[in-house]
Amino acid sequence: MLSTKIVAMVASVASLAAFAGVGTYTATSANAASTVTSTASATSSGTRDSYTDTVGNATFEAARQKYGLAKDMKDGATLHAFEWSFKTIEENIPDIAKAGYTSIQTEPIVKIKDNRKLGTGNWYLNWYYIYQPTDMAIGNYVVGSEAEFKSMCKKAHEYGLRVIVDSVSNHFTSDFDVIADKWRNKNYFHEDKQISDYNNREDCTQHKLTGLWDLNTQDDTVTQGMADLLKQTVADGADGFRYDAAKHIELPDEVFGKQSNYWNTILKNGAQYQYGEVLEDANVREADYANLFWNSSVAGGGITDSSYGHEVRNGVQHGNLSASHFTQHNKVSEDKTVNWVESHDNFANGEANIPQELSDEWIKYGWAGVTAQKNGMSLFFDRPYKDGGTYGTGGKGTYGNGSGPFTENSKLGDAGSDLWKDPEVVAVNHFRNSMIGENSNVSNCGDDLCLMVERYAGSSAQDGVVVANANGSAKNLAGTSTKLANGTYTDEVTGSTITVSGGTITSGSVNAKAIAAFSNKTRSEKISTAEAYPNKGTIPGTSKKITLRAYQATNTTYTTSDGQSGSYSDGDVIKIGANAKKGDVLKVTVKGTGADGQAITHTYSYAKQGDPTYDPSDGTQSPCDKYCVTYMQKNGYNPDTYIDSEETDYEGGSGVDATGVSISGDGVSNGKVSRDISSGDTSLTLKATVTPSDASQRVTWSSSDDSVAAVSSEGKVSLKKAGTVTITATTSNGKTATVTITVTGEAPKATNVVYAAKPSNWSKIYAYVYVDGSTNNAKWPGVEMTAISGTDTCGQSGYYYDVPDNLASNAKVIFNDGGSQQVPGANQAGISYNGGTVRWSGSGTTIESVTCQTLDVPVSSVAVSGSGVSNGKLSLEKGKSAQLSATVNPSNATNRTVTWSSSNASVASVTGTGYVSAVKAGTATVTASAGGKSASVRVTVTDPSSSQRFSDVPSSAWYASSVDWAASNGVVSGYGDGRFGPADSVSRAQMAGLLYNLAVKEGDAKAVSYKTPKSSSFSDVPVSAWYAKQVSWAAAYGVVSGYGNGRFGPADMVSRGQAAAMLRNFARYRGVSGSSASASFSDVPSGAWYASSVSWVVSNGVASGYGNGKFGPSDVASRAQAVAMLQKLDKLTASPASSSSLSISGDGVSDGKLSLARGGTVQLSAVNVPSGAPTVTWWSDDDAVAVTGTGLVIGVKAGSGVVHVQAGGQSAVLTVTVK
């Protein structure tokens, strides 16, 4: 349960509470036995695809493999760089890769509440503000700027590492007044009500988490804002996300007043790994959240397994390594979990006094037990430097006021404890990376102070074991039972060995209070560092403290540019800048010798600022340094401030003059940007970068023509009309930069518009709009209204005026000619106006609300007809032709121009007049389009020539007609040398291709529209392979499956038993159940996995036995046999609808179609469900449409999609258009 702490602190606790193809999340409702399916589709065009950009990039892969890091992020270990800055992370990236971490997890990177405790950068009362966003923009004072984030990600990728960003997507800060202007709107947040019952899903997800403003996750603006932020983060280089307080955001099937599309929108961001902080409780739906994140990721995602971590800490805190503490995955499968010994919340909020009692030694034992196993991603929380049980910090009972166990031996942004690179921790990481995919066994070696984690695959080259020995003496492992193969295994840490024979360790031991990682895959990286912290900043006071750090390094020395030098030990503190003058740049250089003999050198720079001076003109200090004492009215100290003249480097102003400024932003290139505003894209954001980076000057923005484009104080540009404008950024000391914006097109109509007909005796017409006499649109006579052509019913009025938003409520309007004529008359109040679109007729003192309707008549439908066309199909012989015609409805539609196209002109070509020519055997779709509507005809071209089109297929052969059928229908082709190869074997890739071609021949919509994925689901199926699309389709729809070990075996030959199973699966896919009669063969045991499939193909006439009572299930299928079976199968599956009475009904459903407004819902029903059908399954094939497991269809966004229902082997579809 949530502990009651100060509001800010609970922000960090948060809750206790794409790519190729379309993924789905399936959830089982807590109060219904229904299946909920919601799409989580591929990322939109232009979004960075993290998986392709990393694992699909040869340079990245070379680096990843060099350091032996996991291919899939879920299989690796992640370093949680708690409160590290981007600069700090970047400096440590080479060592992080050496240490075997697959990923790095950062803190939240967006703008946050600024409470830097007078700029000291201390942890006390400050650490948790990183979890209090104020804006959806990247960069904050703890982690650094967006530019630094990009640089850090780039460096990480160079070393084969990936980056996970902590996303606070549930809430903003508790201080409403500091929220950015754009978001300071209470419509963007749920009601101002605290959660009272964390086990009530509506209360838990729709109300405030202990004071924090809860984002309105049903609001489209909030949803799109968060989606844009996450996409930008991925574009900048992120590869994954942790979602803070995820259980406080409703699941897609939870409707509390209004449908939420939040998760289904924001998760489509291009990241490859995503997981949610879902702290367990009585009614959390952990498995559903796990599925949501798993299906929104590539190769795995999931949720935090908080109860597992609690059980681990329950063991190590009390000095017990019983295996039972390390195997308690209760709520979700272990591969969908994120596991830790402790999290930042456990540590900083003092769970059960663990931070004080849990030492580095026992953290390492816990890490060994968690990470050596085969489970989900492991997360190593890096405590702040010299904080926690080993250092005796954080006395009991000190929590509840935000203090935490902090000793202030480091600052926010510094690297934390060195434990993450301890040789034993590193060895466990390397062990995990080398054992991916292997079995796992956790046991104790003699007592509860010795833990073993074995990984095994059947050979000494692959197997290994991690042993954590907490005993005060060495542990002799001889006689210990093991699952390891016979052989000798070496410990990466010490080089000692164990020997295994016959399932027993026969010799070897582990040192006292030590961890050993025995395998034959050890790595030799040694990590040594010499550093100084803070590693950036200024010297705004009299001097600055620098902490010198060293780890596994010798001969460590330092020098400073102000004359100091000497040797140092880890943790020594020096002061610099006491005698420096304003503008001086002081440098600190540290050196050392690494454990493997390499030289280490780092240099850090700090700029000296001026001392504070008093300016009586404004009562402030200059420079803007925040370390002055603040007084209250009664001459007392502000209780939340204090004096610190030495440590003020985390404040906002620096006193350093700007030497230059540059502008970047949306689409800016070489100082120019162009934007067409016709689509409604009427804004862009510019960013000014001042050099040097620590300059204190503010930037102001200006526009050369506000009527074309205006710019806000934050660089947000509002594009108004076509033209060219210059935007200028100016620093307070006069440095400037410009960008030229060319605006084209016409912006969509405003939402608050007044239309008017000009009285015949007026030469001009003005609109004077005011509110209570104090606010108006312009001085009298107001703004001249703009003439407009009659392109719609509103435009026929003749004139219009776009009313500013601040005048669209409780306002008055007076129409006048700019002279003496006005309506209402002189000294009379104006006509009441409360926003929206209204019209004044040119007389009278009333205005009426109107809906502007286009005068164009849209096309409602297109139909194709022609000689030989029946049920949307046309058959032609090679060389023949047919004239098609298109009928556009209604007859008075504005755009009646018809365009013709063919999906495969090499099979059937079509002219601009609809004249179709049959070119060669195969199938093609000919489409007629007009006014955004279309209709198609499926054209099948056959070759009437002799079946001896192939030199090795005599016309008398039993399979000749089948070969001719398959070739004529584009199901199969020959070798190119005139042969067919009827006796040749069929590979698994070829069989997938044949079945895919058959589906296309039968006009199956899912096959016809299927796209080749950007990444393959099988390790042995490259996306560039000719069969990649066919294999992916077959696997996606259960027609042909892989081997279960990540391989498909494309070159493996297909047996007759396997072919039977594939053919039956295809029939199921096409919604055909067929006969279930049994068939008996002497070589088909009743318990064989393929027995039922053999019976099915035989009883349905798809295949037959040899005539001697045998079927030959192990015999390799030939090409002739394959096409013969496919021809017979086609007779069953070509028109599956004829064998299915299942259909879909619901309000508005007509002729298999339904129109929905965006956000609208309709309850659908499956009609004529076969009796005895165990389940009714619903799904959608496009993210414009979502459907729940009960058939509730939801219009997500403009577009169209097909809703499917399947029951008892039958299926039906409904085309849904969202407007």
pLDDT in tens, 544-578: 899 999 999 999 999 999 899 999 999 999 999 88
Q: Which residues contact 1102 (CB under 8 A, 6 or more apart)?
A: 1063, 1096, 1125, 1128, 1129, 1132
Comparing 193 with 543, the larger pLDDT belongs to 193
Give the model's pLDDT for residue 941: 84
Please name the residue that has the structure tokens 């199909």.
873
Summarize the confidence of residues 1100-1127 as an average pLDDT: 90
Nearest CA-CA partner of 468 in 488, 443, 490: 443
Catalytic positions, please?
244, 277
Q: Within a domain: residue 12?
A: yes
Report the range out of 470-484, 920-934, 1075-1089 with the highest average pLDDT: 470-484
Give the model's pLDDT for residue 350: 66
Asked if residue 987 has pLDDT above 80, the reply is yes
The answer to whether the Cα torsion of 234, 240, 244, 247 is positive or negative is positive
Position 1020, amino acid: D
Q: 1147-1171: string of b/e by CB count within 10 Å (b at 16+)?
A: eebeeeebbbeeeebbebebeebee
Between CA 181 and CA 196 the distance in angstroms is: 30
Comparing 659 with 247, the larger pLDDT belongs to 247
Structural contact between residues 149 and 237, judged by C-beta atoms closer than 8 angstroms: yes
pLDDT digits (tens, 9 = 90+) for 40-86: 333 333 579 999 999 999 999 999 999 999 999 999 999 999 999 99
Structural contact between residues 756 and 817, judged by C-beta atoms closer than 8 angstroms: no
Q: Within a domain: residue 623?
A: no
Q: 1020-1052: string of b/e by CB count within 10 Å (b at 16+)?
A: bbeeeeebbbbbbbbbebebbebeeeeebbbee
User: Is 139 found in the same domain as 256?
Assistant: yes
How far, in Å, are 849, 912, 1142, 1176, 1208 from residue 1171 at the CA level? Answer: 54, 50, 11, 11, 8
User: Is 1120 found in the same domain as 1146?
Assistant: no
Give the model's pLDDT for residue 774: 67
Position 257, amino acid: G
User: Is 139 found in the same domain as 85?
Assistant: yes
pTM for the full model? 0.54
Give the model's pLDDT for residue 179: 93
Q: Within a domain: residue 854?
A: no
Asked which of 229-233, 341-345, 707-711, 992-996 is least confident by mean pLDDT, the reply is 707-711
Q: Which two tokens stand for residue 1219?
A: 């407007």
Percentage of the residues of the chain whose pLDDT score is greater than 90 = 45
Asked which of 379-388, 635-644, 800-809 is least confident by mean pLDDT, the reply is 635-644
Cross-strand pairs, 1199: 1218
User: Is 237 found in the same domain as 351?
Assistant: yes
Structural contact between residues 852 and 834, judged by C-beta atoms closer than 8 angstroms: no
Q: Within a domain: residue 640?
A: no
Between CA 742 and CA 199 the distance in angstroms is: 54
Give the model's pLDDT for residue 389: 66
Between CA 551 and CA 570 the distance in angstroms is: 7
Position 726, amino acid: T
Asked which of 217-231, 590-604, 849-863, 938-952 is least confident by mean pLDDT, the reply is 938-952
Summarize the confidence of residues 163-177 as an average pLDDT: 95
Number of structural domains in the chain: 8
pLDDT band at 960 (very low <50, low <70, confident <90, very high): confident
What's the Rg (C-alpha) of the chain?
35
Average pLDDT, the chain: 84
Strand order in the sheet with 22-28: 22-28, 35-41, 1185-1187, 1192-1195, 1161-1163
Structural contact between residues 84 and 413, judged by C-beta atoms closer than 8 angstroms: yes
Between CA 908 and CA 939 the distance in angstroms is: 7
Give the model's pLDDT for residue 80: 98
User: Is 321 found in the same domain as 254?
Assistant: yes
pLDDT digits (tens, 9 = 90+) for 777-821: 888 899 998 887 655 677 777 888 889 888 888 899 999 998 889
Give the model's pLDDT for residue 847: 92
Between CA 1202 and CA 1208 the distance in angstroms is: 20
Q: Omega before 781 cis (within 30°)?
A: yes
Asked which of 399-403, 632-636, 681-685, 1161-1165 is least confident by mean pLDDT, the reply is 632-636
Q: Which two tokens stand for residue 510?
A: 């582990």
Q: How many residues are present in the chain?
A: 1219
Summarize the confidence of residues 835-839 as an average pLDDT: 91
pLDDT digits (tens, 9 = 90+) for 477-528: 999 999 999 999 999 999 999 999 999 999 999 999 999 999 999 888 889 9
Between CA 340 and CA 326 the distance in angstroms is: 11
User: Is 513 found in the same domain as 548?
Assistant: no
Between CA 796 and CA 79 the distance in angstroms is: 65
User: Is 979 found in the same domain as 936?
Assistant: no
User: Is 90 found in the same domain as 239?
Assistant: yes
User: Is 159 found in the same domain as 61?
Assistant: yes
Give the model's pLDDT for residue 627: 27
DSSP label of 187:
G
Work out the angle between the directed axes of helices 1056-1069 and 988-1001 (0-180°, nearest 10).
30
Give the model's pLDDT for residue 648: 35
Give the model's pLDDT for residue 773: 62
Asked which of 538-547, 635-644, 680-689, 1072-1081 is least confident by mean pLDDT, the reply is 635-644
User: Is 686 found in the same domain as 670?
Assistant: yes
Between CA 665 and CA 668 the distance in angstroms is: 6
Between CA 92 and CA 413 the distance in angstroms is: 13
Nearest CA-CA partner of 166 in 250, 103, 96: 103
Give the model's pLDDT for residue 1011: 83
Nearest CA-CA partner of 373 in 322, 313, 437: 437
Q: Omega before 612 cis (within 30°)?
A: no
Q: Within a domain: residue 626?
A: no
Q: Indicate the residue among 909, 942, 975 that finishes a domain.
A: 942
CATH number at residue 872: 2.60.40.1080
Q: Within a domain: residue 645?
A: no
Give the model's pLDDT for residue 967: 85
pLDDT digits (tens, 9 = 90+) for 846-902: 999 888 776 667 888 888 888 888 878 898 888 888 889 888 888 767 788 899 999
pLDDT band at 236 (very low <50, low <70, confident <90, very high): very high
Q: Indicate the residue among 849, 883, 904 that finishes a domain.
A: 849
Q: Which two tokens stand for residue 472?
A: 């005060």
Q: Within a domain: residue 947?
A: no
Structural contact between residues 1027 and 1050, judged by C-beta atoms closer than 8 angstroms: yes
User: Is 412 found in the same domain as 283?
Assistant: yes
Residue 923 has φ and ψ, to the nearest 5°, of -130, 150
CATH number at residue 773: 2.60.40.10
Residue 493 has φ and ψ, to the nearest 5°, of -80, -50
Between CA 439 and CA 431 the distance in angstroms is: 13
Domain range for residue 474?
Answer: 439-519
CATH number at residue 473: 2.60.40.1180
Q: Indicate the residue among 915, 942, 969 that finishes a domain.
A: 942
Summarize the confidence of residues 606-614 as an average pLDDT: 61
Comparing 834 with 118, the larger pLDDT belongs to 834
Percentage of the residues of the chain whose pLDDT score is greater than 70 = 86
Give the model's pLDDT for residue 921: 82
Give the model's pLDDT for residue 746: 81
Give the model's pLDDT for residue 19: 28
Q: Within a domain: residue 1115?
A: yes
Report the range out of 215-219, 353-357, 1119-1123 with the highest average pLDDT: 215-219
Asked if residue 14 has pLDDT above 50, the reply is no
Using DSSP, how many helices (H) and how many strands (E) does the chain show?
21, 67
User: Is 1046 found in the same domain as 1074?
Assistant: yes
Structural contact between residues 493 and 424, judged by C-beta atoms closer than 8 angstroms: yes
Nearest CA-CA partner of 52 in 155, 165, 157: 157
Strand order in the sheet with 723-731: 672-676, 736-744, 723-731, 699-703
Please name the residue that has the structure tokens 């015949």.
760
Summarize the confidence of residues 181-210 as an average pLDDT: 92
